[in-house]
Amino acid sequence: MKKTILIFLLLFMIIVLTAKTVQLNNFEELMEALKQGEEVRVVAHYGDCQLISDNEIKERSPNAIGGMPVEAFEYFGAMAVGNPKAFVAFSHSALINYGGFIYNYVKFKITDDNKVKITAQYVDTQNFELKMDEAFHSTINNGDNEGAVFFYKNK
């Protein structure tokens, strides 16, 4: 019995220690991983994105990085909902303390031409008033371009 437990623990440690992440380089690789049910994470380098706030393009984006797992997502093929390009979208909301408690909502929309739009919003927890609304634009980083949005899956 002790041998079985020891072998199981050793195998588990080997699996954990050899687990690696693999960068997904484009929309097709991202969709294949999502369709296969693989664990996917996104990391956005906001400072390298184009920022649009208050309907105007800003000179600089904040030097910030954010990441999250892609959990629930929706894919729409071209023209499925009147959209000329296929896209996948996912979002996340969290309660944060930023000079008081607010909801931090972030949504990613990735189109089949590897373009990424990130919507970031702060919402008041009491009356749901929108306190901040920004849009960040970039592309999927493929290792050779200046894209500021990275996707990874566990190998």
d(CA 152, CA 155): 9
d(CA 150, CA 87): 16
Domain presence at residue 4 = no
Domain presence at residue 101 = yes
Given a cut of 80, whether residue 8 has pLDDT beyond it is no
pLDDT band at residue 155 using 50, 70 and 90 as cut-offs: confident
Domain presence at residue 13 = no
Domain presence at residue 8 = no
Domain presence at residue 49 = yes
Domain presence at residue 94 = yes
Q: Which of 109, 113, 99, 108 is nearest to 142 (CA)?
A: 113
What domain range is 29 assigned to?
Answer: 19-154
Q: Which of 119, 116, 129, 113 is nearest to 91 (CA)?
A: 119
Write the single-letter amino acid at 79: M
Strands 21-24 and 74-76, sheet pairing: unpaired
Q: At 87, which helix (H) or strand (E)?
A: strand 87-97
The count of structural domains within the chain is 1
Per-residue pLDDT tens over the stretch 15-68: 555 568 999 999 999 999 999 999 999 999 999 999 998 888 999 999 999 999
Write the single-letter amino acid at 152: Y
Residue 132 CB neighbour total at 10 angstroms:
14
Q: Mean pLDDT over residues 68-91, rounded?
A: 97
Q: Mean pLDDT over residues 58-87, rounded?
A: 96
Domain presence at residue 64 = yes
Q: What is the pLDDT of residue 13?
A: 56
Domain presence at residue 34 = yes
